[in-house]
Amino acid sequence: MSRDALVDTTKKQDEPLNKEELASGALAIQATDLNLWYGTFQALFDVSFNVKQGLVTSLIGPSGCGKSTLLRSVNRINERFGYVRTQGKVEVMGHDIYAPKVDLTQVRSQIGMVFQRPNPLPITIRKNILFGYGLQDSTKKIDSQEDEIIEKALKEVLLWDDLKDKLDKSALDLSLEQQQKLCIARLLPVKPKVLLMDEPCSALDPKATEAIEELIWGLRGEYTILIVTHNMAQARRASDECAFMLMGKMVEHQRTEDLFVTPFNQQTADYIEGKFG
Amino acid sequence: MTMFAKTEHNVRCYATEKRWKALFLLMTALLILPVLVILTLLIVRGGPAISWEFLTAFPIKGMTEGGVFPALLGTIFLVSLALVFSVPLGIAAAIYLSEYAPDNVLTRIINLAIINLAGVPSIVHALFGLGAFVLFAGFGTSILAASLTLAIMTLPVVIIATKESLQSVPHAFREACWSMGATRWQTIRRIVLPNAVSGILTGVILEVSRTAGETAPIMFTGAAFFLPFLPESVYDQTMALSLHLFVVATQVPNVPEDLPYGVALLLIGLVLTMNALSIGFRIRLRNKKKW
């Protein structure tokens, strides 16, 4: 099956969402009154923000507006800096991820993250895909399902045909586009519900960007995707809902087509018209 | 005249350029010259002294004849035992400092202390070893005390080399691991260490070659002037190449002129072999890296 058959981008805006949970409008991420400080610098101010299950939601805003910080508090990767302080609540699939009993490694493995620069590990493609999966299960020695897992993950990111014969090559030999797809593929074996993407296309050329956008659109439904982007055209093309942030505050959150056509807020209007950025 | 023709200013610049280049070349040549002279002298004078007997026999007739076997073996013992102590300790400490320690005042003080420790003269280490291991710990002048002294001396360099190679592994890899739910140790074990191992090995081997040549730290702590037999345990003294060289060169009368050159050649040969090994390792392992 060709890529085009798998992901038809021409009808994405008006395609009806067929999954039940989409119709129900259930929330995958629910942030309530989130405040976050880096040392004494406050990066988020009372952010309340909901992401619906199965949709692609994009976060836009000028540099330093807190969009990446918000994204990074959804898998608590922010906390690798010792000086981060978080206040408020973030629920993912109905579970408070800042609750005391929550295990940090569980949070991070079940909430996948894709970075700005593709960062495959310096090991083979096969090991990259099994890495996250293997972390959760130290008992298995030889798993007969491994091949199946790899094939499934690579098929989901449309890489299987390209890579099936070189699974034991280093992942660093791949093109940037393939690397970024692999970085998405390696999240899938642990069956995450939510994928966070921090400007996943900003290191890629336009053609690769298009391919990743198509892929993200194809993953929609099964996964809830929250994506930070600098690229307003991308937010407009490839997201169901869009949220605009400014100076650490959530300014506006709407369906993408509405936000870009009839924003409520004057600041949103100014930003999407390119008056500042 | 085209618009791109050489001006007088350009000509002057080229002349200056030439003079500086010549100066730098001269300085480099001056650096290499002594090394070449030393090596040539050693090979010419010491070469004839080296023989199978020289490597495998005991010194005889007041160390004026025979071989250097006990000294060669002693150096190998001392260095190996020193590494057994310093390498695991040094690597563990470097992993802590590089991967776990929070960036605070205490960590910075520790790092600074390690750098300064690396610069402490070996005679100071020798006296420390004498006080701490020979006298206080009661090991006496022994291989154990001498090796521990060498270990203390090599420790800072092992830590620094290990830390540097750990930190040369791109941070993005760690972030990728953490974001997938790996603990720090899983990250270190699976990604950081395998990619740092070439640098660590290089550092350790270079340190071995430096340790092999040290004389002061072992002189007071475990190396003997002359022993007619091999050590039987780590509580015995041993001969060592570096001290033996000092002894035959300055302390013993009627030594044939070529003998000290032979010992020096052997010592330098040992060191150069280790260095070559280290460079070989580095090249082999570096070629596997892709960043």
Domain positions in chain B are 8-49, 52-286
Task: List all residues 6 or more positions away from B19 whose beta carbon is below 8 Å from its beta carbon.
Answer: none
d(CA B153, CA B219): 14
Residue type for B159, please?
A: I
Q: Give how far the C-alpha of residue B125 lies from the chain's centroid of Cα atoms, to the nearest Å.
A: 15
Joined tokens for residue A9: 């981008």
DSSP state of A230: S
Interface check for A120 against chain B (CB to CB < 8 A): the answer is yes
What is the rounded average pLDDT of the residues B36-46? 89
Query: Three-state DSSP class for B227?
Result: coil
What is the rounded average pLDDT of the residues B59-75? 79
Stated as kind and residue range, the H or E segment containing A28 is: strand A27-38
Please say if the pLDDT value at position B226 is more than 80.
no
Q: Please judge whether A117 and B172 are an interchain contact, meaning their C-beta atoms are less than 8 angstroms apart.
A: yes
pLDDT < 50 positions in chain A = 1-21, 23
- Is the Cβ–Cβ distance between B200 and B186 less than 8 Å? no
Q: Say what the pLDDT of residue A64 is.
A: 85
Residue among B201, B203, B216, B218 nearest B75 (CA): B218
Q: Greatest CA span in chain A, whole angstroms?
A: 58
Q: Say what the pLDDT of residue A8 is.
A: 39
For tokens 């600041």, what's the residue?
Answer: A267
More confident: B93 or A233: B93
Interface check for A129 against chain B (CB to CB < 8 A): the answer is no
Residue among A55, A70, A77, A13 nearest A216 (CA): A55
- Is the Cβ–Cβ distance between B165 and B253 less than 8 Å? no
For residue B48, how many C-alpha atoms fall within 13 Å in the half-sphere facing its CB? 7
Residue type for A143, please?
A: D
Joined tokens for residue A223: 């996964």
Q: Say what the pLDDT of residue B113 is.
A: 93
Joined tokens for residue A209: 């960007």
d(CA A87, CA A34): 6
Q: Say what the pLDDT of residue A24 is.
A: 57
Interface check for B173 against chain A (CB to CB < 8 A): the answer is yes
Q: Say what the pLDDT of residue A12 is.
A: 40
Return the percentage of chain B with pLDDT > 90, whole number: 33
Stated as kind and residue range, the H or E segment containing B60 is: strand B59-60
Chain B residues lying within 8 Å of A120, measured CB to CB: 176
More confident: A210 or B230: A210
Residue type for B268, please?
A: I
Q: Say what the pLDDT of residue A139 is.
A: 62
Q: What is the dihedral of CA B19, B20, B23, B28, to 10 degrees?
A: -140
Rg for chain A, CA atoms, rounded: 19
For tokens 């936000």, what's the residue?
Answer: A259
Express each pLDDT in B171-212 by its tens digit: 889 989 988 888 899 999 989 998 888 888 888 888 888 888
Chain A residues lying within 8 Å of B192, measured CB to CB: none
Mind listing the domains of chain A with CATH numbers?
3-119+192-272 (3.40.50.300)
d(CA A181, CA A161): 13
Nearest CA in chain B to A75: B179
Residue count of chain B, please give it. 291
pTM reported for the whole predicted model: 0.81
Please say if the pLDDT value at position B288 is more than 80.
no
Interface check for A102 against chain B (CB to CB < 8 A): the answer is no
Q: Say what the pLDDT of residue B37 is.
A: 92
DSSP state of A35: E
Q: Say what the pLDDT of residue B90 is.
A: 93
Q: Say what the pLDDT of residue A3 is.
A: 37
Tell me the average pLDDT of chain B.
86
CA distance A239 to chain B (A): 23
Q: Say what the pLDDT of residue A2 is.
A: 40
CATH class of the structural domain B52-286: mainly alpha
Q: What are the residues facing B194 on neighbouring strands?
A: none
What is the rounded average pLDDT of the residues B217-234? 80
Joined tokens for residue B207: 């340190």
CA distance A123 to chain B (A): 8
Residue among A266, A196, A267, A202 nearest A234 (CA): A202
**Distances in whole angstroms, Cα of residue B238 to Cα of each of A268, B17, B235:** 81, 56, 10
What is the rounded average pLDDT of the residues B219-232? 79
For residue A110, how many C-alpha atoms fall within 13 Å in the half-sphere facing its CB? 13
Express each pLDDT in B117-166 by its tens digit: 888 888 999 899 888 888 888 888 888 999 999 999 999 999 999 999 99
Q: Please judge whether B182 and A120 are an interchain contact, meaning their C-beta atoms are less than 8 angstroms apart.
A: no
Q: Please judge whether B290 and A187 are an interchain contact, meaning their C-beta atoms are less than 8 angstroms apart.
A: no
Query: Three-state DSSP class for A91?
Result: strand
CA distance A2 to chain B (A): 30
d(CA A164, CA B127): 63
d(CA A256, CA A29): 18
